[in-house]
Structure 1
């Protein structure tokens, strides 16, 4: 496992496959991650299934019981698959963020030219494209809108978030009807925030998920920093 703790490590942790340093790092992450805590509780059903294994296949006395090799291989393959999907999703989010930064740099260059130069039109912010869904969280006050365009490879996502104070580190997840989660993109919220006094513009980003439009049941803005938790849920 890399030094970066990931949600997908919960399976390896539950089956005792993490090395000592990785286990301690994941336990520290687990204390502040409600998603991993819920998934770890669900792993109890796997433990019950493993309890019916023939005693002849058990470990020698005095040694900790380990799941069968096929189960270990299955967990490891799942970890590798989920991490590849996360890298693709984060790459799409990073590319979109880089495009937004490039737009900002272009505006600054145009406005900072010679005084005699003719003002240039400013580029418009990223528009919400496709099927729109909006929600406001009564607890946090955060408000967001997603735009969805179904593609052969999955779903293109445009997103706006407002009334959120920084500093925070967050990511947007697409949640399927079966409960599977796919990271659309991640970002930082600097002080004072987005769509708040002193910083009225919303956060605008573009990302993607491998889930098709019909597979998605909702989007969630998840806080990575501090105590974690869900900042906003947008049902579809």
Structure 2
């Protein structure tokens, strides 16, 4: 398949709807295409919210069920607390993912970024925690920043791994021993700069014991213990 046609598969790959063979061929394309690698990272917040919705929704719920008032209130509350410059892209992905998953109900969300009226105080973001570590055996360096949200945790991971190309994954491990995939990415070949990915977990920061960066084959690369 030509390169231009491969570019068109980036959304399907990020959402996990490509077949196994097509996904394998697209990952070969990612090794050489920095543009598609960046697009895959952009899709991660929306993909993560779709996965969290699927995990938390009982199988008896119809896939096209309309969102109830409490869900809409939570969405609007999340928007109001995060209506700040530099975070609008995440809000759009969050709202769009819930609307698409819940059956396309019309929800108008305004995040135009107008200045707050005189005398009002913008809501502060919840405090974040950060941890970083270099694994002595693999040489992989990673930094994870977590921030509590209504739906669990918003997580950013920065990774420097010069041994690509390889597909990697960040795993959150809870204090109860449960594991959740936070985000995945393709490490390009001969890439010496750090990569930054966004993801999330339904676990709150205080429920997470540690994070692990692994390859798609399960090889351990680095562990970061929560503070």
Coarse TM-score class (shorter-chain normalised): 0.3 to 0.5
TM-score, reference length from structure 1: 0.42
Q: Which has the larger radius of gyration?
A: 1
TM-score, reference length from structure 2: 0.44
